[in-house]
Amino acid sequence: MPKRQTKSNSNSLVIILAIIAFVVTYCTRKFASDKGKDIPVKTAHKKKTSTAKKNKTEIFHENFETASPVKTNYNSEEITLSTGPWMLKDAVIGTKDEDVKLGNQSLRLRGGGSATMDFDINVTGTVTVTLKHAAYGTDDGGTWELWYSVNKGQRFLQAGDAVTTTEHTLRTSTFTISTEKTLRLRIRSADKDNGRLNFDAVSVVLSSSATSGNTPAGSEKNVTGDDDNLLLGNPTGAVAAIVSANNFLMDKGYYKLSYNRDRGTPNWVSWHVSSKDLGPMSRANDFRPDADLPESFYQVSQTSYIGSGFDRGHNCPSGDRTFSRDANEATFLMTNMIPQAPNHNQHLWANLENYTRSLVNDGNEVYVIMGSYGIGGYGAKGLKKKIDRDNITVPDHIWKVIVVIPEGNNDLKRITKDTRIIAVNTPNKNDVSTKWSAYLTTIEEIEEASNVKLLTNVPAAVRQELVKKIDNGN
């Protein structure tokens, strides 16, 4: 038995050594044949990457590379980039060595500057916006914000939080935005004391199914709901159609109005004010023409009132839109102005506007409609019926209606026969009283004098009571 076991073990050892020799020989030949070849990437990894790309479709990319000439001054100017026209304010296309960039150029903003798309991306759903940013040269950098509009530039909202940039190498920030139809972007430096900032590689990636494309600027009507600027009704049935040139509906995002082409002023302007509308923004004083008027309309400019003896009187006040720079600037469009006697504007009307905001600061929200009618007002230079080579009619009366309710939701349902109504109708004269309470009246009287119908969305039984009320002025 011991001899047989020894022989068996010897045979096993021989077999094992033969197998080892075969394996070594095969592997040596295999490695030699593979010498100089790259190790292939696993196919499973490839498939995963490919799937991810299919789920994220880039529909927009701007790298700020332009053909000459390049914008190198900080004046406000519209330039054409690869994606379309952009309006640059306190901004340039940076080409210097100090500009941080991926290619030859990048966007550079100085303190308070902005770059705004003057076109729209047609997209429905949720998108991811990314952009790269860095502090310019040796500047300390600063804080910037991404703003967006989903109603063709009528109103911009801030996307996410402000970003503070101090690094001198490009970093990436990401924002998520939802839109039902269109998207327009604005990059803005948040503080005039900021250092200069560079931006590059602005990208919009689709994260839900949609069609996309770029379209020129236009107008879009918002859906009426709580806090809507026209919640209480359309006083003259205005429509956004050229055939209705003297009752032309315009939605400026922060207020809505009926524009009168022949008078060169609004018939009325309607807006809502809550605590969300009041903030730290200073007065923009950016009076300018309204580019959204039809081309066939006379374009009232910022200089149209000069030497007339009348102020460029706001309908929707600058002070009611101080929560953002965009909101405040919107109130300086000339479609929001009327020729207003200086003392009327600066004292009587200012007192009423300040009182209105005090109501909001006390916990209320208000719906305001302001209008004017008639021909001929008395300004600093006496009676005038028309100004600006007879292109603008001077009204002889200016009225306002204010509906006051406690801040809350379901606003129409909360308006009752006991709701406070402040209605005033005033002559457009320089010798008016500074006390708005001297001109208190009823909605009925205003409707009869100016040919409007107010509060038409309020239930009829409630409206019937409200139009007859006269406030006590306290």
Q: What is the DSSP letter of 17?
A: H
**Structure token pair of residue 394:** 């001077």
Q: What is the pLDDT of residues 252-273, one digit of tens each?
A: 989 999 999 999 999 999 999 9
Reply yes or no on whether the pLDDT at 435 is more than 70: yes
Reply yes or no on whether the pLDDT at 47 is more than 80: no
Helix (H) / strand (E) containing 426: strand 420-427
pTM: 0.59
Note whether 87 and 118 are within 8 A (CB): yes
Question: Is 242-466 in the same CATH topology as 58-216?
Answer: no
Q: What is the pLDDT of residue 21?
A: 54
Q: What is the pLDDT of residue 301?
A: 97
CA dist., res. 16 & res. 397, Å (int): 112
Quick one: what percent of the chain has pLDDT higher than 70?
Answer: 84
What would be the CATH architecture of the domain defined by 242-466?
A: 3-Layer(aba) Sandwich (3.40)
Q: What is the DSSP letter of 247?
A: S
Q: What is the DSSP letter of 347?
A: I
Q: What is the pLDDT of residue 2?
A: 45
Active site members? 314
Q: Where are the alpha helices (DSSP H) in 259-366?
A: 325-330, 342-343, 350-361
Residue 20 banded pLDDT, cuts 50, 70, 90? low
Q: What is the dihedral of CA 83, 86, 92, 98, to 10 degrees?
A: -30
Q: What is the pLDDT of residue 214?
A: 53
Q: What is the pLDDT of residue 396?
A: 98
Q: What is the pLDDT of residue 7?
A: 45
**Structure token pair of residue 40:** 């292939």
Of the two residues 224 and 433, the one the predictor is more confident about is 433
Mean pLDDT of 416-426: 98
Q: What is the pLDDT of residue 211?
A: 43
Q: What is the pLDDT of residues 173-189, one digit of tens each?
A: 999 998 888 999 999 99
CA dist., res. 134 & res. 169, Å (int): 6
**Structure token pair of residue 25:** 């020989």
Q: What is the pLDDT of residue 298?
A: 97
CATH class of 58-216: mainly beta
Long-range contacts for 296-299 (Cβ within 8 Å, ≥24 apart)?
296/242, 296/245, 297/245, 297/248, 297/259, 297/261, 298/261, 298/264, 298/391
Q: What is the DSSP letter of 349?
A: I
CA dist., res. 93 & res. 200, Å (int): 10
- Candidates 63, 38, 59, 41; CA nearest to 50 is 41
Reply yes or no on whether the pLDDT at 471 is more than 80: yes
Lowest mean pLDDT among 17-31, 85-99, 403-417: 17-31
Mean pLDDT of 230-250: 95
Q: Where are the alpha helices (DSSP H) in 57-103?
A: none
Supply the Cα-derived Rg of the chain in whole angstroms: 33
Q: Where are the domains of the chain?
A: 58-216, 242-466
Q: What is the pLDDT of residue 11?
A: 57
What is the number of helices (H) and of strands (E) in the chain?
8, 24
Residue 56 banded pLDDT, cuts 50, 70, 90? low
Mean pLDDT of 131-137: 96
